Copies of this chain bind each other. A is one copy, B any other.
């Protein structure tokens, strides 16, 4: 028997309707790409989003068509999100930090019909445009006065473009499982893969994020998302903040410490979200100038692990650091390290231990860890296995890729290796392709690296698995010494001894002049594995 409740599809544009109706005068403040700080409201954003929708509709954009945005966090970008989604088209956020070739590949793979871009990215697009046959028109997010001359096809300033319609328009209605947005992941290997969010997944994700142990902003709060709208669905903030009537402060293109600090201070920002690099710049700027942020209550940090010193720095200022973990495929929220009651009373260092985990999932995200055969492993905080996830905001497939990415129980393999403790706190210990598999047991390359860089002479360390006749793989520690330092193999190993299980000890140490990195600063282990493919471990003969 079915229930007798109303059929009310979860549609993204209903969020901006709610914001406009209930929190219509709430401000959205933007550091504009043209320079000045500009202020608007949720009511105004909805009204302009409807113009975007109407203009796209007049252009013949239909349900399922892809519209790309390559843009910073601004009110105009937010208007485009809702305008595109509100007619059932798909808002494809393109990450401008990718290599131009990748940007071109992605736009062609998505077959985007229109590209909406900030002034910043016009030069990149001019170089790519000849090879983007699906694109019919380029809309530049500015007004006529700031519009540059450009050979881009049918280029027009955004303000002129939306002035061509009168705004008398209604959202389209469709099923909540309709695609709403698209975001490509860019792994270190293989082609980028497109995640296709639905209206349902975005709305449910916003509702999950709104609980007080996740992002939990309220109508009285002010959120500055440093995390870009083009990065992993903006961690859902483009939906969660309007759904609560939270004031938004959009930092535009300037993400340096001084600029972010200035906005946080003048706009009395209470909540913010971004990657550790940004917080490092902010903390350095504040320390150098002896500055405070008395209104700041919470810093959500994801993208990569938050260093312990950073967690401590924010905590010491009375600001809650919230470690978050997720991925594009998860919309992206996976876990958040809010403190649960058993840990509220902990003393400083133990408290930091918990805050340094990736946290536990909100209702709506299910996790498990398994061995290579798919067998579930215990939640004891020690055993680590492949981290797999399930939920209404987790990807079930990639766009135009005919591969099953779910296991028999419907779980998606995150590619991370993690432990989970009895309280559900998850700790990433490695990427599954980097973990060292020694005699059927797993050794975390990240744990060994973190230990090795603690040695005063070591600048950077990388650990990879090298083939071993008896154990399959054994760890090789690759070290780049600090400028002017010398050290021996024994010296480094001795430093590590006793701090880890004996069988975790690297079988050898290789010294290199420079450890290779990816464009985004991660250690390029594929290159190291190539370089040390034939490496002969001293233990191999044993």
CB distance from A462 to the nearest CB of B (A): 34
Are B244 and A200 in contact (CB-based, < 8 A)? Answer: no
- Give chain B residues whose Cβ lies under 8 Å from the Cβ of A63: 1
Stretch at the interface among A148-156, A190-198, A275-283, A301-309: A190-198
Which A1-23 residues have a C-beta within 8 angstroms of B? Answer: 1-8, 10, 14-15, 17-18, 21-23
Is the CB–CB distance between B390 and A6 below 8 Å?
yes
Residue of B nearest to A64 (CB): B1
- In the complex, chain A residues 226-273 whose Cβ is within 8 Å of any chain B Cβ: 243-245, 247
Inter-subunit contact B10/A196 (CB<8 Å):
no
Is A537 part of the binding interface, using a Cβ–Cβ cutoff of 8 Å? no
A526 at the interface (CB under 8 A from B): no
Question: A339 to chain B: which residues have CB within 8 Å?
Answer: 220
Task: Name the distance in Å between A183's Cβ and chain B's nearest Cβ.
Answer: 12
Contact status of A1 and B178, CB under 8 A, knowing A6-B391, A15-B363? yes
Say whether A341 contacts B219, CB under 8 Å: yes
Find out whether the CB atom of A244 lies under 8 angstroms from the CB atom of B177. Answer: no
Any B CB within 8 A of the CB of A342: yes
Contact B207 A218 (CB under 8 A): no
Smallest CB gap from A208: residue in B: B207
What residues on B are CB-neighbors of A360 within 8 Å? Answer: 22
A398 at the interface (CB under 8 A from B): yes
Q: In the bound complex, what is the Cα–Cα distance between A333 and B361 (angstroms)? A: 25
A412 within 8 A of partner (CB) = yes
CA distance A3 to B179 in the complex (A): 4
Residue of B at shortest CB range from A398?
A: B4
Q: Is A424 an interface residue (CB 8 A)?
A: yes
A396, CB-defined interface residue at 8 Å: yes
Cβ of A26 under 8 Å from chain B: yes
Contact present for B220 and A393 (CB under 8 Å): no
Across the interface, name the chain B residue whose C-beta is closest to A365: B18
CB of A409 to closest CB in B, whole Å:
11
Q: Are A6 and B338 in contact (CB under 8 A)?
A: no
Q: Is A399 an interface residue (CB 8 A)?
A: yes
A391 interface neighbour in B8, B197, B412, Cβ under 8 Å: B8
CA distance A47 to B396 in the complex (A): 30
Is residue A80 contacting chain B, with contact meaning CB distance below 8 A? no
Cα-based distance from A48 to B174 in the complex (angstroms): 41
Q: Which chain B residues lie closer than 8 Å to A331 at the CB level?
A: 5
A341–B26 touching, CB < 8 Å: yes
Question: Once bound together, how far apart are the Cα atoms of A412 and B3, in whole Å?
Answer: 16
Interface string of A344-380 (1 = CB under 8 A from B): 1000000000000000110110100000000000000
* A479 cross-chain contacts in B, Cβ below 8 A: none
A397 on the interface (CB 8 Å rule)?
yes
Closest to A396 in B: B6
Instruction: Identify the 4 closest CB pairs spanning chains A and B, nearest first.
Output: A3-B198, A1-B64, A22-B424, A5-B201
A-B contact pairs, 16 of them (CB 8 A): A1-B64, A1-B178, A2-B198, A3-B178, A3-B199, A3-B201, A5-B392, A5-B393, A6-B406, A8-B390, A8-B391, A8-B392, A8-B410, A210-B210, A210-B211, A220-B340
Taking A5-B393, A6-B392, A220-B344 as known contacts, 9 extra A-B pairs with beta carbons closer than 8 A to each other, sorted by chain A number, are A3-B198, A3-B200, A4-B398, A5-B200, A10-B392, A14-B363, A25-B423, A26-B341, A213-B245
